[in-house]
Amino acid sequence: MVQKVNVGILGGTGMVGRRLARLLIGHPWFELKAVIGQASIGDSYHDVWHRKESAMSAHYGSSFWSQDPAPPELEHLRVLSLAEGLGDQGIEVLFAAVSAEGQAAEQRALEQGRRVFSNSPYGRFDDENPLVIPEVNRAQISQARFVKNPNCVTSGAVMILDALAPLGLRGVAVTTFQSLSGRGDAKYPVDLVAGNVYPLHGSEERTEEYIAREIHKILDSDFPVSVSCNRVFVQEGHFVDLRIRTTRRPDTKELVALLEGYDPLAEVPLPSKPLRPLVVCSENGRPRPNQDSLHGRGFSVAVGNLCTSDLMFEVRLQYVVNNLIRGAAGSALLNAEYWYLSTH
């Protein structure tokens, strides 16, 4: 019988934290024991979950925003303070789903000997902290106690770029159309985003900077990366246009083969890994967030609109990545699963 590792979630009441909690239900290796929050300490986790989902629906309109109901399997949990969560010495691993402002909680967890798998921006670019997508650079997890996963857009981009590495990568242009849930429970003014496209360049969101730096760090590369980011009135799933300069131009058949054949974890038995990390959509007009953000339970990236005849770029394509699963909670979980498999 497998001895499960007791885990907690820092920032467990936020949107990514809630998605992590859902993914941990019935997990064969991890047992969720603590949900650590800040503003709702002592409250029932179910009640906090319902309040936050209801607030998003009320803000954007119930005809647009679909609520994610609290799972009955989590009704026994209440929200703990950081001190309570860290006081439980049986909790070995913490998942961090906090904002940049929550970095102090991550640091305290590390100082008290916990292993942290983190979705937050804090420490992503410090040399000592691995920034990992397991299909691409899982070896960096090894014995690290603080493992980061990147921005949602980067999570999809680096797998596609890694798959196309045999063509010789010379540069990439990334244009994003990111869903509203990419900011978690933070709410945009409705008149800013409804029926609109909101450019993020020059805003307080540093997404453009993060994506470029993360691609370079994960792929250990220095080829030029150009990034332009936008928010769109979609609940879940980021749509991304990727234009790639390569040393050699493939034909469409080779491009499809490289994408569909990409499966570095084929022999690695991780419970949450998808059957295929990259799913190629052959239908015109696909992928689309509403139709293609849940391939492989949200762990797969849907790729389509492949073009190898562009006059400026050798490869042009578009993809949809589920920003809450592969782009956030799921990436942290996969990293933790690889650590567990490597050490138990």
Are residues 200 and 259 both part of a single domain? Answer: yes
pLDDT of residue 1: 66
In a domain, 157, yes or no: yes
Residue 5 DSSP SS3: strand
Domain boundary among 122, 142, 174: 122
**Chain position carrying tokens 């974890």:** 265
Q: Confirm whether 339 is domain-assigned.
A: no
List the CATH number of the domain containing 35.
3.40.50.720
Q: DSSP readout, 187-247?
A: ---HHHHTTSEEE-TTSS--HHHHHHHHHHHHHT--S-EEEE-EEES-SS-EEEEEEEEES
Q: Are residues 83 and 177 in the same domain?
A: no
Q: Are 173 and 238 part of one and the same domain?
A: yes
**Which residues constitute the domain of residue 31?**
5-122
Could you tell me the CA-to-CA distances from 202 to 51, 178, 210, 224 in Å, in that order?
Answer: 32, 16, 13, 20
Tell whether 139 is covered by a domain. no
- 163 shares a domain with 112: no
CA neighbor of 131 nearest in space, from 243, 9, 221, 208: 221
Tell me if 179 sits within 8 A of 289, measured CB to CB.
Answer: yes
Q: What span, in angstroms and rounded, lies between the C-alpha atoms of 45 and 49?
A: 6
Residue 329 is assigned to a structural domain of this protein: no
* Structure confidence at residue 337 (pLDDT): 98
Q: Does 147 fall in a domain?
A: no
Joined together, the tokens standing for residue 334 give 């996969």
Rounded-to-integer distance, Cα 277 and Cα 257, Å: 13
Going residue by residue through the chain (344 aa), what tens digit of pLDDT does each one get? 678 999 999 999 999 999 999 999 999 999 999 999 988 999 999 999 999 999 999 999 999 999 999 999 999 999 999 999 999 889 999 999 987 667 889 999 999 999 999 999 889 999 999 999 999 999 999 889 999 999 999 999 999 999 999 999 999 999 999 999 999 999 999 999 999 999 999 998 989 999 999 999 999 999 999 999 999 999 999 999 999 999 999 999 999 999 999 999 999 999 999 999 999 999 999 999 999 999 999 999 999 999 999 999 999 999 999 999 999 999 999 999 999 999 98
pLDDT given for residue 143 in this prediction: 81
Residues 117 and 158 in one domain: no
Can you state the percent helix, strand and coil of the chain, rounding each to 5? 35, 20, 40
- Separation CA 3–CA 62 (nearest Å): 42
We report the CATH number of the domain holding residue 313 as 3.30.360.10
| pLDDT in the model for residue 313 | 98
Sign of CA dihedral 149, 155, 158, 160: positive
Strand partners, 95: 9, 117
pTM: 0.97
